[in-house]
Structure 1
Amino acid sequence: MQRRYTGLTAAVAALSMAATLAGCGAGEGAGEVTLKLVAADYGSNDANGSQGYWDGLARSFEKTHPGITVDVDVMSWKDVDREVAEMVRKGEAPDLAQIGAYADHAAEDRLYKADELLPIPTQANFLPLLARAGQVGRSQYGLPFAASTRLLFYNKGLFEKAGAKPPKTWDEIRTAAGKLKDEGVKFPFALPLGSEESQAETMMWMLAGGGGYRDVSNISYDIDSAENVATFTWLKNNLVGKGLTGPVAPAELDRQEAFDAFAQGDVGMLNGHPTLMDAAEKAGVDVGMVPLPSPDGEGRPSMGVADWMMAFKQNGHRKEIGEFLTYVYEDKNVLAFSDRYDILPVTSTATATMRDDPRHRALWPFLEELPTSELYPVGHTSWAKVSESVKRNIGKAVAPGGDPEAVLAGIARDAKDAEADE
Structure 2
Amino acid sequence: MAAVLAGCGLTSGSDHVTLHLVAADYGDSAANSSEKYWDAIVTAYEKQHPDVTVEVTVYSWNDVDAKVKERVAAGDPPDLAQIGAYADYVAADQLYKAGELLSIPVQADFVSQLADAGKVRGVQYGMPFASSTRLLFYNKTLFAKAGLTPPTTWEELAADAAALKQNGVKYPYALPLGPEEAQAETLQWLLSGNGGYNQNVSSYSIDSTENVDTFGWLKNELVGKGLTGPVAPGELNRADAFAAFTDGEVGMLNGHPSLMKAAAKKGVKFGMVPMPGLDGPAKISMGVADWMMAFRKNGHARQAGDFLNFVYSKENVLAFSREYDLLPVTNSASQVMSTAEEDADLRPFLKELALSETYPVGRTSWAQVSAEIKKEIGRAVTPNGSPATVLGDLQETASRAENEAGE
TM interval, shorter chain, is: over 0.9
CA apart distance, 1:25: 7.7
1:141 to 101, 105, 125: 125
Q: Label 1:331 to 1:399 Cα distance change in 2 as closer, same or farther (>3 A).
A: same
Query: 1:234 and 1:28 mapped to 2: Cα distance?
Result: 66
Partner of 1:277: 260
CA apart distance, 1:386: 0.9
Partner of 1:107: 91
Partner of 1:67: 51
CA apart distance, 1:132: 1.5
Contact 1:29–1:320 (CA<8 Å) still a contact in 2? no
Instruction: Tell me the amino acid that sits aligned with residue 390 of structure 2.
Output: V
> Alpha-carbon deviations, 1:19-71, whole Å to 9, x = none?
xxxxx885489533322211122223343232221222222222222132222
Instruction: Tell me the amino acid that sits aligned with residue 249 of structure 1.
Output: A
Query: Structure 1 length normalisation: TM-score?
Result: 0.90
1:171 to 127, 135, 155: 155
Instruction: Tell me the amino acid that sits aligned with residue 110 of structure 2.
Output: F
Partner of 1:252: 235
Query: 2:136 and 2:163 mapped to 1: Cα distance?
Result: 17
Instruction: Tell me the amino acid that sits aligned with residue 213 of structure 2.
Output: A
Query: 2:289 and 2:173 mapped to 1: Cα distance?
Result: 26
CA apart distance, 1:280: 1.2
Instruction: Tell me the amino acid that sits aligned with residue 222 of structure 1.
Output: S
Q: How does 1:225-374 map to 2 (within 5 A)?
A: 225-374=208-357
Instruction: Tell me the amino acid that sits aligned with residue 125 of structure 1.
Output: D
Q: How does 1:37-186 map to 2 (within 5 A)?
A: 37-186=21-170
SS state at 1:73 partner: strand
Q: Label 1:213 to 1:150 Cα distance change in 2 as closer, same or farther (>3 A).
A: same
SS state at 1:421 partner: helix
> Alpha-carbon deviations, 1:92-126, whole Å to 9, x = none?
21111111111111111101111111111111111
> Alpha-carbon deviations, 1:200-245, whole Å to 9, x = none?
1100000001110012x41111101111111111111111112211
Partner of 2:5: none
Contact 1:198–1:390 (CA<8 Å) still a contact in 2? yes
Q: Label 1:104 to 1:253 Cα distance change in 2 as closer, same or farther (>3 A).
A: same
Partner of 1:404: 387
Contact 1:155–1:265 (CA<8 Å) still a contact in 2? yes
Contact 1:40–1:75 (CA<8 Å) still a contact in 2? yes
Contact 1:28–1:317 (CA<8 Å) still a contact in 2? no
Query: 1:206 and 1:30 mapped to 2: Cα distance?
Result: 56
Query: 2:18 and 2:171 mapped to 1: Cα distance?
Result: 49
2:179 to 181, 187, 195: 195
Q: Label 1:105 to 1:30 Cα distance change in 2 as closer, same or farther (>3 A).
A: farther
Instruction: Tell me the amino acid that sits aligned with residue 334 of structure 2.
Output: T
SS state at 2:354 partner: helix
Instruction: Tell me the amino acid that sits aligned with residue 47 of structure 1.
Output: A
Query: 2:158 and 2:265 mapped to 1: Cα distance?
Result: 28
Contact 2:244–2:250 (CA<8 Å) still a contact in 1? yes
Contact 1:28–1:319 (CA<8 Å) still a contact in 2? no
Instruction: Tell me the amino acid that sits aligned with residue 154 of structure 2.
Output: W
Query: 2:57 and 2:230 mapped to 1: Cα distance?
Result: 38
CA apart distance, 1:255: 1.1
CA apart distance, 1:159: 0.9
Q: Label 1:182 to 1:113 Cα distance change in 2 as closer, same or farther (>3 A).
A: same
SS state at 2:130 partner: strand
Q: Label 1:49 to 1:246 Cα distance change in 2 as closer, same or farther (>3 A).
A: farther
Task: Give the unaligned 5+ runs of structure 1.
Answer: 1-23
Q: Label 1:316 to 1:299 Cα distance change in 2 as closer, same or farther (>3 A).
A: same
- How many pairs were matched up? 398
Q: Label 1:41 to 1:119 Cα distance change in 2 as closer, same or farther (>3 A).
A: same
Q: CA RMSD in A?
A: 1.7
Contact 1:187–1:268 (CA<8 Å) still a contact in 2? yes
Query: 1:229 and 1:297 mapped to 2: Cα distance?
Result: 20
Query: 1:181 and 1:96 mapped to 2: Cα distance?
Result: 49
Query: 1:30 and 1:119 mapped to 2: Cα distance?
Result: 25
Q: Label 1:45 to 1:187 Cα distance change in 2 as closer, same or farther (>3 A).
A: farther
Q: Label 1:28 to 1:420 Cα distance change in 2 as closer, same or farther (>3 A).
A: farther
Query: 1:196 and 1:377 mapped to 2: Cα distance?
Result: 18
Q: Label 1:25 to 1:44 Cα distance change in 2 as closer, same or farther (>3 A).
A: closer
Query: Structure 2 length normalisation: TM-score?
Result: 0.94
Query: 2:341 and 2:12 mapped to 1: Cα distance?
Result: 45
Task: Give the unaligned 5+ runs of structure 2.
Answer: 1-7
